[in-house]
Amino acid sequence: MSEAGELPLAVDGLTTAFRVEGRWYDAIRDVSFSVARNETLALVGESGCGKSITALSIMGLVPKANGRITAGRVLLDGRDLVPLDETEMEKIRGNAISMIFQEPMTSLNPVLPIGFQVAEALRYHTALTGEAARARALALLEHVKVPSAARRFDDYPHQFSGGMRQRVMIAIALACSPQIILADEPTTALDVTIQAQVLALLAELKSETGMAMIFITHNLGVVASIADRVAVMYAGDLIEIAPVEELFEHPMHPYTEALLSSIPRVDRDAGDLKPIAGQVPPITAMPSGCRYADRCPLRVPRCATMPPLVGLAVDPNHQVRCWVRAADESVSA
């Protein structure tokens, strides 16, 4: 996209490889998307689809021993983050881009009080020190609705419930008013009623601050309730991207379609559950063409080569990476 410079974050042709038994394999390949201010982009897919690798690549957290970004750019306000070294990335992480993880217990330090951990982000990235940092940390905890935050400021993570710990994580992520929040399965470990509370909080904070949010999840129900746009990943490829209502109403990629009809729904009667046969190929044996081809009922010979991600004539914002479906919809680009 040409207007990449105005977007808080644009990922362009990102390819990240991992070494398995001495050989390098692409865990994600040619992933491109962008996210606008005050927009939530959901990155959705099943385990191993590359959604978390995408997040780690954006944050510069790909483990150096066995992984590397082999192509592509990550543009933060037009500036490419890929070539930056660790010192420079440390200034960006937790400042311009923050991350929220799935399991708050493992990402919070168990031996430090939670208030201290919120204030730490402020002391590190801003000029605030001592009392000022403490006061701001308390305000943040109140903002994310930790009940009686002042009294609980010096409590330790184990004294909090899962939902409250996740609120603390969100407070840390928000500490430096980031432009972008990267939330990796932030509600997956929570019970549904608590999940609903945390989703409501995130939606509220996003519209309040106008930040961009990349929300990684495997749960299409959560996607439907929080996303503005959705990017679907399969086996390391971004296969479809569309505004949320469009994606759920007119899924174009055969995988997206199959995924949607394999969810047992609480609002619908049983009987229409259609599983996807087969399984995702292992990273060491990925086909060079469309990675879904083996399981796809629409497969044609052309699928042996990788299809491009193209916009559809009916809605250029709806892009799909499929030879068959893109051709059906008379490709615009």
Draw the binding track, 279-298, toward other proteins (x: CB under 8 A; -: no contact). Answer: x-------------------
Q: Is 169 exposed, middle or buried (0-12, 13-18, 19+ CB in 10 A)?
A: buried
Binding to other proteins by residue 266, rule CB under 8 A? Answer: yes
What number of chain residues touch other proteins (CB under 8 A)? 46
Q: Which residues contact 114 (CB under 8 A, 6 or more apart)?
A: 108, 141, 152, 153, 155, 156, 157, 160, 168
Residue whose CB is less far from other proteins, 133 or 231: 231
The tokens describing 58, both together, are: 């954006």
Q: Which residue in 4, 46, 132, 294 binds other proteins (CB under 8 A)? A: 46
Site string for other proteins, 160-199 (x = CB under 8 A): -x-xx--------------------------xxxxxxx-x
Q: Which lies closer to other proteins via its Cβ, residue 116 or residue 248?
A: 248
Q: Which amino acid is at 164?
A: M
Q: For residue 148, give the 3-state DSSP assignment.
A: coil
Q: How far is the CB of 275 from other proteins (least distance, A)?
A: 4
| Nearest residue to 69 via CA among 51, 83, 86, 50 | 83
Binding test (CB under 8 A) with other proteins, winner from 22, 83, 110, 264: 264
Shortest Å, Cβ 3 to other proteins: 25
- What is the closest distance, in whole angstroms, from the C-beta atom of residue 224 to other proteins in the complex? 5
Q: Does 260 bind other proteins (CB under 8 A)?
A: yes
x/- binding map, residues 202-221, to other proteins, per CB under 8 A? Answer: -x--------------xxxx
Considering only 56, 212, 258, 296, the residue that binds other proteins (CB under 8 A) is: 258
- Judged by CB under 8 A, the chain residues 313 through 332 that form the site for other proteins are none
Taking phi over 0 as left and psi of -120 to 50 as alpha, with beta for the rest, 327 belongs to: alpha
79 counts as binding other proteins under rule CB under 8 A: no
Q: The tokens 């999840």 sit on which residue?
A: 217
Torsion 257-252-310-316 (CA) sign: negative
Confirm or reject binding of residue 52 to other proteins (CB under 8 A).
no
Name the DSSP letter for residue 93. B
Q: Which of the 8 DSSP states describes residue 155?
A: -
If binding is defined by CB under 8 A, does position 21 make contact with other proteins? no
Answer for the pair 61, 84: CB distance below 8 angstroms, yes or no: no
Q: What does DSSP assign to residue 20?
A: E
CB of 176 vs other proteins, minimal distance in Å: 25
Residue 295 CB, shortest distance to other proteins, in Å, is 9
Position among 7, 223, 233, 322 found at the interface with other proteins (CB under 8 A): 223
Phi, psi of 303 (to 5 degrees): -65, -10
Is the CB of 194 or the CB of 283 nearer to other proteins?
194
How many CB atoms within 10 Å of residue 295? 18
Burial category of 103 from C-beta neighbours within 10 Å (exposed 0-12, middle 13-18, buried 19 and up): middle
| Interaction of residue 262 with other proteins, rule CB under 8 A | yes
> Cβ 238 to other proteins, closest distance in Å?
18
Q: Which residue, 16 or 187, has its beta carbon nearer to other proteins?
A: 187
Alpha-helical (H) ranges within 158-284 are: 162-174, 192-209, 220-226, 244-249, 254-260
Are the beta carbons of 28 and 231 closer than 8 angstroms? Answer: no
3-state secondary structure of 215: strand
Q: Which residues bind other proteins (CB under 8 A)?
A: 46-47, 161, 163-164, 191-197, 199-201, 203, 218-225, 227, 244-245, 248, 258-260, 262-270, 273-277, 279
